[in-house]
Chains A and B, each alone.
Chain A
């Protein structure tokens, strides 16, 4: 590949100037992901430690953190153009809102919830 190509490459995100070696970052992120997965699995063994009412929030936080780490680092959203992030977020936001409303209409979040 010639240098001309490298230059055109450059204008589509700082990431590809010389393709910085991010392998160590990826490995670190993977270790964090593994640790969170460990914590998630740990919640299953109630006899060892009972999270009680905190269980669902803890799990949701873990899930969101993993989601964010994969999307931001492995899928390069951290370094890529904002329009890609927006396209993905639009899908997530629409999905969360319409399905949350639907489940609420089914009294999913408790009998006491208005519907």
Chain B
């Protein structure tokens, strides 16, 4: 759509990419996505800060008076399991970037394979998160149990929701590709979807360290 708006002084020529004519040389869509991601930093920053604040105050919660915050990781989290999950999400970033790269080289078949792989890796991550949540609830740590659990579930839940939305976008693009609506001329659309996906991964890089590993 950008092309109609970024039209030059004459209407004689449009190209089909929408970024040939903007004054910055960046397409509207890509710039918009980066601005959105900048804005998302503040969203996850707020959730992470809330979590950090309340983990620090853990001992003031009923039932946690004697908990040792430094042992929290060992007591609560299954670190080896989460490490595998993190690794899976990290690798989905690789497959994503390979999908974009394939489409840029007009290899649509390979692009679809990588795209599907990315969505599957993302889905495994979500499966792992559901398993982890269920395990917590079974052990008696539900969303409403205490402030710590509320903050934990909210932060990881928000991230999980972002991953799910990402999977939906990827699957939509996969379907579009099957319909022939996602040819090489639209490689940038896939790249932009990829930016979102990588951002979700980057957030997990932070969450993994801040929530799970730092004692």
A contact residues vs B (CB 8 Å cutoff)? 1, 4-5, 8-9, 11-13, 16, 19, 21-23, 26-27, 29-30, 33-34, 37, 40-41, 43-44, 55-56, 59-60, 62-63, 66-67, 70-71, 73-76, 80-81, 83-84, 87-92, 94-96, 98-99, 102-103, 106, 108
CB distance from A111 to the nearest CB of B (A): 11
Q: Is B68 an interface residue (CB 8 A)?
A: no
Do A27 and B35 contact each other (CB < 8 Å), given the known contacts A11-B20, A40-B213, A95-B42?
Answer: no
Q: Decide yes or no whether B64 CB sits under 8 A from chain A.
A: no
Taking a contact as CB atoms under 8 Å apart, the answer to whether A37 and B19 are in contact is no
Q: Are B202 and A44 in contact (CB under 8 A)?
A: no
Our pick among B40, B52, B208 for the contact of A40 (Cβ within 8 Å) is: B208
Complex A-B: 23 CB contacts under 8 Å: A8-B17, A16-B104, A19-B187, A23-B101, A26-B98, A30-B90, A37-B83, A40-B213, A41-B83, A43-B213, A44-B83, A63-B209, A70-B198, A70-B205, A71-B202, A73-B97, A74-B201, A80-B26, A84-B30, A91-B38, A95-B41, A98-B45, A106-B53
Q: How far is the CA of A84 from the CA of B53 in the complex (A)?
A: 31
CA separation between A103 and B104, bound complex, in Å? 44
Q: How far is the CA of A26 from the CA of B194 in the complex (A)?
A: 14
Chain B residues with CB below 8 A from A5, complex form: 15-17, 185
CA A59 – CA B41 in complex, angstroms? 20
Interface pair A74/B30, CB less than 8 Å apart: no
Q: How far is the CB of B166 from chain A (nearest CB, A)?
A: 14
B interface majority secondary structure: helix
Sorted from nearest, which 5 A-B pairs have the closest CB atoms?
A91-B38, A95-B45, A8-B20, A91-B41, A19-B104
Asked if B213 contacts A87 (CB within 8 A), the reply is no
Cα A96 to Cα B195 in complex, Å, equals 21
Known: A34-B87, A76-B191. A59 touches B105 (CB 8 A): no
- Residues of B at the A interface (CB closer than 8 Å) are 15-17, 19-20, 24-27, 30-31, 34-35, 37-42, 44-46, 48-49, 52-53, 56, 73, 79-80, 83, 86-87, 90-91, 93-94, 96-98, 101, 104-105, 184-185, 187, 191, 194-195, 198-199, 201-202, 205-206, 208-210, 213-215
